[in-house]
Amino acid sequence: MTHILIRSLDRGATIFLIVVAAIAIAVPVLNLALPDSAALHVPTYLVSLFGKYACYALLALSIDLVWGFCGILSLGHGAFFALGGYAMGMYLMRQIGTRGVYADPLLPDFMVFLNWKHLPVYWYGFQHFPYAALMVVLVPGVLAFVFGWFAFRSRVSGVYLSIITQALTFALMLGFFRNNFGFGGNNGLTDFKDILGFNVEAKTTRAALFSVSCVAIMLGFLLCRAVITSKFGKVLIAIRDAEARTRFLGYRVESYKLLVFTLSACMAGIAGALYVPQVGIINPSEFAPANSIEAVIWVAVGGRGTLTGAVLGAVLVNYAKTFFTTGALAPYWLFMLGGLFIAVTLLLPRGVVGTLRHWTAPWRDRASAAAEDGVTEPLPAE
Amino acid sequence: MCFRRAWLVALLFALGFALSGTSAEAASLDEALAHFTADDFSETVEGINEVAAGGSPRAEIILRALQNDQLMFSAERKAVYIMDDAGKLTDAASGRPVVGAAPADLDNVRINNRLRGAIEAVLGGLTLLASDPGARFAAAQAVFKSRAAGTLPTLETAIAKEQDPRVKRALMEARAAVILSVADAKDEDKLAAVDIIRQRGDQDALGLLSSLPAGTSPRVMKAASAAIAAVNNRLIVWSVVQNAWYGISLGSVLLLAAIGLAITFGVMGVINMAHGEMVMLGAYVTFVVQEAIRTKNPELFDYSLAIAIPLSFLVAGGIGMLIERCLIRFLYGRPLETLLATWGLSLILQQAVRTLFGPNNREVGNPSWMSGAFDLGGITVTYNRLWIICFALAVFAALLALLRFTRFGLEMRAVTQNRAMAASMGIRTSRVDALTFGLGSGIAGMAGVALSQIDNVSPNLGQGYIVDSFMVVVFGGVGNLWGTLVGSFVLGIANKFLEPYAGAVLGKIAILVLIILFIQKRPRGLFALKGRAVEA
């Protein structure tokens, strides 16, 4: 165990973990301990906002794991994120109990509204947190496993895979928009009251959720580091750089891809589960293909294949989004976002962190660093 | 003196005789109108029926006024008036304007939905004898629906006089419907009626035959249930034809949207996420052309599409070439990055159009030769769908000819099959790339013109088609246009056949799942390229 930890932690990773841990402690303390008038006081709405960013960062990590290290560009990770979110949302719905508008002890409000008499079977068990937590990981994981098993086995790769993953999230979006699907249709799940007995609206709960999200980032980051520094990770990078050669060397490429894809989907599910109590709603628009592509651009901005870059990119882009969409510049946000897609792919293919690493690396090491960062010249054989 | 008086009396008598016809009619109309002054719904029904049965030329005017809440009555004077839009009163029976002050207790003759139905039915009966065949046809349809027993004599007269076969058919059907709903009609008449209704053979006929009044003889019942079975069979056949037609129509739209995508993807391996926005631009070009025509010379409106098609090809194609030169050529060999960059581009284009034209739907009209529809057996074929199918097939044929018979087509095929070899044979591959991308975008622009005729023109127009077009390309395979043709029609028809069973959304999901399963078997689509090009 220790040797995996030591192997995973280089200097950059340690610094990153320390920074995240510091934020995880500082933000709640500055929110709860200081009076509202203090200069360093962090308002509660900012805590929720940062918590949202933290969940996005975890999603970005999961995308970076498959895209940056295995070359699988999934345009459907938003689906895994949203499924995890729905699993958590179902738990939170069951916690409302008789406090709903219709005060039905068993059925959530929207089911009473739709005149349903019985709780659908797939809602059973969600009143127990451990079961819901299991489903948060299991549902996206199983979907990714089944989907990946079909896709990778028949060697669907490259842009084909991207398009199919996009179709997957699109199909799920259409399904969840239907009322008779049993997940609240258009309105999704909302009006949550409490989580594990704590009021979701309370300041302390919000601060705790933020800290938990940061811890999730740290654990996710450690997991990714452990994966990519292992022998398994080396094979993943080999697959990314020369899939055919790796296969000819005797590795079962599809098994490697399947495992990392499933792992990444589970991470995305956890990110979604942490996201829902902090924003207070989950609805089918989370499945929109545009969301998944946007998540990919966070990774591209930060630098694919850098992990820290993915986290940084998610926070940066989302901060920019919050900043621009709330002011007078709102009509121009989509121009900015679109420009960002183009500028990053054209001018900054390594992303922010990747480029920094490239510059700071000694000249001699740059060629090998480039290979580590995942930016290589396209090989004629691929 | 005495003589003169006698003469006067005789004269008056004669006059009275001459006038007696009209005065008798007027008297019955007055009696009928008296029902309206009772302010009671069932009395009003009596009034409606009597007014209609009286056959007065004023009947229609009175009933229309009643329908529009313009019929007034005064309980005090026992009189009924019509108040026009300007508030002027005329006497209902005579049509003469009312002189002097309006009665103090003037009030509307109130009607409810049941009465509205009764008025509709009675009016239908009245217009059965109208001079305009269209009005007669509509009246016959109204009677078919209302089955008002009182219209039977009028129907008989109308059928005897009718020359137009279409209207005559409708009148016969209306009579059959009435006969079937009247309890005391003869069985022979009813059997003949069942036969006529069976020949009509649509959903209305089915409704009529399955709701025969109680007390119908078993013989008629048996004939009716046989007719129901026959009509059902006919409907099933036609619903299959209908689904196939809708499927072909959807397929042609998919073909138009996907064909440009197939070219760029086939030749350059580039996924152009901004392809849908090229379609959207084409639709907006149509809008601009139509706006210009509306303000400058409206008589050219029917030619607006003829102007818009080449223009949209040039605009979208030009923008496409610009995109290729400024963006995509720097990203060759990095298909995933191209995908992201073109997605960003699509966001920018959408937002640009939203800023320029506003976020709402824009009105694009159908030229006269594209509006309307005709009946083909049991289905309705709209002209705009028909033209779009023709247009899609024409574009497909033109593209096929371009690839097969021109030098540019030859170069394009060469680059698709083996880029390196084509380059070493002296083909300027970068020029071919730019032109190909322009061609693909231009075709998308033309697709936009077609889509503007059947869909809402909004900045999100392209988004709705992009996933479907990708599915077509993935399903059909790249590098072969026939794959796109077959793919789009198969997907279109499959979609429309699944819809009635699974609903629109589940049908779509089923299609997506089927495609995912399909590419298990054939990862490169229906018509895959073989050989080295596969790995390129």
Q: Which of B122-131, B190-199, B325-334 has the highest mean pLDDT?
A: B325-334
The encoded tokens of residue A377 equal 């010249």
Which residue is closest to A163 within chain B, CA to CA?
B470
Is any Cβ of chain A less than 8 angstroms from the Cβ of B285? no
CA distance B423 to chain A (A): 15
Mean pLDDT of A295-315: 93
Which residues in chain A are contacts of B331 at CB distance < 8 A? 345-346
Which residue is closest to A299 within chain B, CA to CA?
B340
Whether A266 is in a domain gets the answer yes
Using a 10 angstrom Cβ sphere, with 0-12 exposed, 13-18 middle and 19 or more buried, the burial of residue A112 is: middle
Quote the CA–CA distance of B415 and B393 in Å, as a whole number: 25
Which residue is closest to A148 within chain B, CA to CA?
B516
Using a 10 angstrom Cβ sphere, with 0-12 exposed, 13-18 middle and 19 or more buried, the burial of residue B124 is: buried
Is any Cβ of chain A less than 8 angstroms from the Cβ of B335? yes
Q: Are B526 and B483 in contact (CB under 8 A)?
A: yes
Mutate one of B505, B508, B515, B524 to test the A interface: name it (highest A CB count within 10 A): B505
Whether A343 is in a domain gets the answer yes
Number of domains in chain A: 1
Which residue is closest to B532 within chain A, CA to CA?
A381
CA distance B141 to chain A (A): 38
Beta bridge partners of B72: B81, B108
Whether A361 is in a domain gets the answer yes
**Tokens 């800290």 — which residue?**
A211
Q: Do A349 and B337 touch (CB under 8 A)?
A: yes
Mutate one of B325, B418, B511, B516 to test the A interface: name it (highest A CB count within 10 A): B516
Which residues in chain B are contacts of A158 at CB distance < 8 A? 335-336
pLDDT band, very low/low/confident/very high, at B90 (cuts 50, 70, 90): confident
Q: Do A297 and B344 touch (CB under 8 A)?
A: yes
Q: Which residues touch B373 (CB under 8 Å, ≥6 apart)?
A: B380, B381, B382, B383
| pLDDT of amino acid B335 | 82
Is any Cβ of chain A less than 8 angstroms from the Cβ of B27? no
Is any Cβ of chain A less than 8 angstroms from the Cβ of B323? no
What is the secondary structure of B280-308 as a DSSP string? HHHHHHHHHHHHHHHHS-GGGGGGHHHHH
Whether A8 is in a domain gets the answer yes
Rounded-to-10 torsion of CA B160, B162, B165, B170:
-80
Over the stretch B131-186, which tens digit does the pLDDT of each residue have? 777 778 888 887 787 777 767 777 777 888 788 888 888 888 888 888 887 777 77
pLDDT band, very low/low/confident/very high, at A380 (cuts 50, 70, 90): very low
For A231, the domain range is: 2-369
Could you tell me the pTM of the whole model?
Answer: 0.75
Over the stretch A337-347, which tens digit does the pLDDT of each residue have? 999 989 999 98
Mean pLDDT of chain B, nearest integer: 81
| pLDDT of amino acid A77 | 95
Using a 10 angstrom Cβ sphere, with 0-12 exposed, 13-18 middle and 19 or more buried, the burial of residue B351 is: buried
- Percent of all residues in chain B with a pLDDT value above 90, rounded to a whole number: 21
The pairing of beta strand B71-74 with beta strand A281-282? unpaired
Q: Do A342 and B345 touch (CB under 8 A)?
A: yes
How many other CB atoms are there within 10 angstroms of residue A379's CB atom?
11
Whether A380 is in a domain gets the answer no
Which residues in chain A are contacts of B348 at CB distance < 8 A? 334-335, 338-339, 342
**Tokens 């008598």 — which residue?**
B13
How many other CB atoms are there within 10 angstroms of residue B29's CB atom?
23
ipTM (interface pTM): 0.85
Which residues in chain A are contacts of B519 at CB distance < 8 A? 154, 156, 160, 164
Q: Which residues touch A249 (CB under 8 Å, ≥6 apart)?
A: A238
Quote the CA–CA distance of B423 and B404 in Å, as a whole number: 20
Grouping H, G, I as helix, E, B as strand and the rest as coil, residue B25 is helix
Mutate one of B340, B357, B467 to test the A interface: name it (highest A CB count within 10 A): B340
pLDDT at B313 over 80: yes
Q: Are B300 and B479 in contact (CB under 8 A)?
A: no
Which residues in chain B are contacts of A181 at CB distance < 8 A? none
Is any Cβ of chain A less than 8 angstroms from the Cβ of B536? no
pLDDT band, very low/low/confident/very high, at B56 (cuts 50, 70, 90): low
Over the stretch A94-137, which tens digit does the pLDDT of each residue have? 998 888 888 888 888 888 888 888 889 999 999 999 999 999 99
Which residues in chain A are contacts of B510 at CB distance < 8 A? none
| pLDDT of amino acid B54 | 65
pLDDT at A269 over 90: yes
| pLDDT of amino acid B19 | 44
Residue A342 has its nearest CB partner, among B327, B351, B512, at B327
Quote the CA–CA distance of A201 and B519 in Å, as a whole number: 47
Which residues in chain A are contacts of B341 at CB distance < 8 A? 341-342, 345-346
Whether A43 is in a domain gets the answer yes
Whether A53 is in a domain gets the answer yes
The encoded tokens of residue B294 equal 């509306």
Q: Do B519 and A168 touch (CB under 8 A)?
A: no
Which residues in chain B are contacts of A147 at CB distance < 8 A? 516
